[in-house]
Amino acid sequence: MVSQSMNRSFWQTLPKPIVALAPMDGVTDAAFRFISARHGRPDIHFTEFTHVEGICRAIPNVLRNLEYNEIERPVVAQIFGNEPAAFYKAAHIIGALGFDGIDINMGCPDRAIASRGCGAGLIQTPKLAQEIIRATQQGARDFAKGQGALPGRVPLPVSVKTRLGYDCIVIEDWIRYLLETEPAAITLHGRTLKQGYRGEADWDAIGQAAEIAHTTQTLLLGNGDILTPADACNKISQYGVKGVLVGRGAMGNPWFFLDKDAIRSSTPPSTGFEISRQDRWKVALEHAEYFDRIRGTIPFPIMRKHLGWYARGKEGGLRSQLVRAGSLAEVKQLLVNEGHFVAPIH
C-alpha cells in the first residue's frame, strides 16, 4: 500500500543541508537500513542499486532489494540499467511499492556494469542518460495520474547519483547535461570511474558542480571520504553543496547521523556521537538478529562484514572471530564469551 504520510516532494521539505545514507551495493540492505533508521535517523535511505529489467520481470531475488521498513522514510529506490523503456516501467512498479523517490545510478564503477553502458558507463552517452531520466520522470508522472491513483498524489521525484567522469573529469559538460532534465537532486561522488575508490575524492570538482547547479532547482549533494561529522560539516561549508551522502563513515556506525543537527549548525563534535562499548555490541547483535529474521535463503555469512565493522581499536581478536561466524548462535556465544551478551531482541 502506498503511504500517504510522506510528502512526495520530500527533497524540498527536508532540513538543509541534507545528511543522508549513501546507497552501497552489498552493504545497504534492508537490515542495514533498518538499524540505521532505528539508531541514527539519516535524512534519507537509499536501497542498493537494483536492475530495472529484473524489476520489470519481477525476479524474486531482484525484488528483495526493494524490501524496506516504514521507519526508513523517506526511502528511495536506486535503480540502474540502459533501456529507457525499462526505466519507464520500473517507475510504475516503484510507485506501486510505496517508495518516496527514485534514484538513477549513473556512477557504479564496476567494469562489468559500465561496459554494458550502465552505471558510470552512461557518462559516455549523455544523450542516452537524458533519455533515461526523462523516461523515468514520465513513468512517475503517468503512475501518479493513472487509474486508481490516490487523491493529491504527485509524481515521485527522480534524482541521479553519478561521478566526475569516466576516465577523466568532465564535470562541467556532464553536470549541464544532467541539469537539462531538471532532476530533483544530483549526488556527485568525487572520483572518476577509472579511479574506482582509490585516492582522495576531488571536492574541488564537486564544488564546481555545486556552483553550476546553484541557479537551478536541482539540489547538488556531495559524496566521498565523509568519515566523521566534522568531515561532513567542513565539506558542506567549504564547497557549497546542499548536503552529503555518507558511505564508509556509517559502516558499523549508525550513530553517525545523530550528529546531523550539529552538522547543520556548523558545530559538529570532533569525535562524533559517543556510544559505549556495551551498547555498540548490543546494537550489533540487534543487527544480526534482524538480518537472520528476514534473510530468507541468503546465507548468514553475508552478515560477517557488518559485524567486523562494529569492532573498534583493540577489539581485533573479537573481530577476527566474528567475521568467521556461520550463524546467529555463534555470534551470540562469542559475545557471551567477551562479556557483551544481552538478551535476544524481539
Q: Annotated catalytic sites, by residue?
A: 108
Nearest to 98 by CA among 78, 70, 71: 70
C-alpha 229: how far from chain center: 17
Q: How far is CA 321 from CA 28, 119, 277, 331, 333, in A?
A: 23, 36, 17, 9, 11
Any idea what the Cα angle at residue 219 is, between residues 272 and 69, rounded to 5°? Answer: 60
Structure-block grid coordinates of residue 98: 510505496
Percent helix, percent strand, percent coil in the chain, to nearest 5: 45, 10, 40
Structure-block grid coordinates of residue 308: 567486523
CA-CA distance, 182 to 92, in Å (whole number)?
20
Strand partners, 220: 186
- Say which residue the cell 568531515 belongs to: 231
CA-CA distance, 256 to 271, in Å (whole number)?
10
C-alpha 109: how far from chain center: 15
C-alpha 91: how far from chain center: 18
CA-CA distance, 236 to 53, in Å (whole number)?
36
Contact criterion met (CB below 8 Å) for 307 and 285 = no
- Say which residue the cell 518516496 belongs to: 100
Nearest to 260 by CA among 283, 236, 295: 236
Q: What is the dihedral of CA 229, 213, 204, 36, to 10 degrees?
A: 20
